[in-house]
Amino acid sequence: MDQFVAMRAFVRVVQAQSFQEAAKLERLAQGTVSKRVAALEDHLGVQLLVRNQRGVTLTALGETHYANCLRILEELDAAEARIRTDAQTPAGVIRVSMSPVLSRILLAPLLAEFVREYPKIEVTCFLTEAHVDIIGEGIDLAIRARHLEDSSLIAARLSSNPLMLAAAPDYLARAPRLQQPEDLKSHRCLTFQRMKSAQTWRFTQGRKVREVAIEGPLAADQGDTLVEMAVAGAGIVMMPEWVMKEKLADGELVPVLTEWMPPSIPLHIVYPNSAAVPLRTRLLADHIRREVRKSELLPR
């Protein structure tokens, strides 16, 4: 027995004061309505209605249960109405994970624009270079710079995100010659503290491939910090060009080894692979993709 279906049949009979009228209102056979009410009485072990030729009347226990059923069904209907309203009117909180440098340069103004457009949506940002466990930590949406293999996530590519090497002019003036990737072994290189792969830099030139194990006295877990270290003359940094764009334009950093190409690490927007992805999350993902396409900051 579906208890809610039986409760609705019971309430409808009481309101119509007749099994026949209740069946007409529900567009059901009268026997179906009778069976549902009888099943509810059997389930409870009490008589709820007195049947007679004039119609039906409530027993004392039936009156109490009718009031309770009416309250429960009204609350259920209200909850369902709220869900439908939320599905049509975006509202709620979106938890977003991204790197601090990406937030500062690109996404912060996009998020501000998004919540102006959808005033009932709140966005909470968690700024980290770490690739957090999206599902385990309850993140609704994340921006990640890496090749994705996790099938539990939906991913949409934002940028090819090619990397480049750069250093401050004063560092290069006093450092050893730098013409081939292997020359990096004689240089101070700045790396991401969390990434073991950051200790090996890979380059291509046509069909040529070079991998160089690099060393340096400084490491950090935040891209902006590595860039500022390079500006201060601490060594060579490998970062996406868009991260260093202002420093390159000002001459505080200059590209190096430009004839050799470092890899590209695609930038993706990702969120849990679920049939019930909230409308607000999908709207934000679409907003970011659309606005990034308009921007000339990120390479395609």
In one-letter notation, the amino acid at residue 205 is Q
Residues 179 and 157 in one domain: no
Residues 208 and 179 in one domain: yes
Gap between the Cα atoms of 247 and 8, Å rounded: 69
261 within domain boundaries: no
Residues 188 and 46 in one domain: no
Percent of all residues in the chain with a pLDDT value above 90, rounded to a whole number: 44
* Residue range 241-266: mean pLDDT, rounded: 92
Per-residue pLDDT band for 162 (boundaries 50, 70, 90) equals confident
- Provide the CATH number for the domain around residue 194: 3.40.190.10
Highest mean pLDDT among 66-80, 88-102, 161-175: 161-175
Residues 239 and 274 in one domain: no
User: pLDDT tens, 109-139?
Assistant: 999 999 999 999 999 999 988 777 888 888 9
274 within domain boundaries: yes
Q: Are 250 and 108 in contact (CB under 8 A)?
A: no
Residues 226 and 248 in one domain: yes
- ∠ Cα 214 145 99 (to 5°): 95
pLDDT at 195: 59
Percent of all residues in the chain with a pLDDT value above 70, rounded to a whole number: 93
Query: 0.75 exceeded by the pTM?
Result: no
Residues 81 and 8 in one domain: yes
Per-residue pLDDT band for 84 (boundaries 50, 70, 90) equals confident
pLDDT at 87: 65
Residues 128 and 153 in one domain: yes
pLDDT at 1: 72
Per-residue pLDDT band for 85 (boundaries 50, 70, 90) equals low
- Provide the CATH number for the domain around residue 45: 1.10.10.10
pLDDT at 112: 93
Residues 147 and 271 in one domain: yes
Domain total of the chain: 3
Residues 80 and 136 in one domain: no
User: pLDDT tens, 257-285?
Assistant: 999 999 888 888 888 876 667 888 989 99
CA distances from 35 to 3, 8, 38, 266, 274 (A): 12, 13, 5, 61, 38
Per-residue pLDDT band for 53 (boundaries 50, 70, 90) equals confident
Task: Look at strands 189-192 and 208-213 and give their pairing.
Answer: unpaired
DSSP calls for 154-212 = EEEEEE--BEEEEE-HHHHHHSPP-SSGGGGGGS-EEEETT-GGGGEEEEEETTEEEEE
* Residue range 50-74: mean pLDDT, rounded: 88
* Residue range 232-241: mean pLDDT, rounded: 94
Phi-psi region of 253 (alpha: psi -120 to 50; beta: other; left: phi over 0): beta
What is the residue range of 80's domain? Answer: 3-87
Per-residue pLDDT band for 149 (boundaries 50, 70, 90) equals low
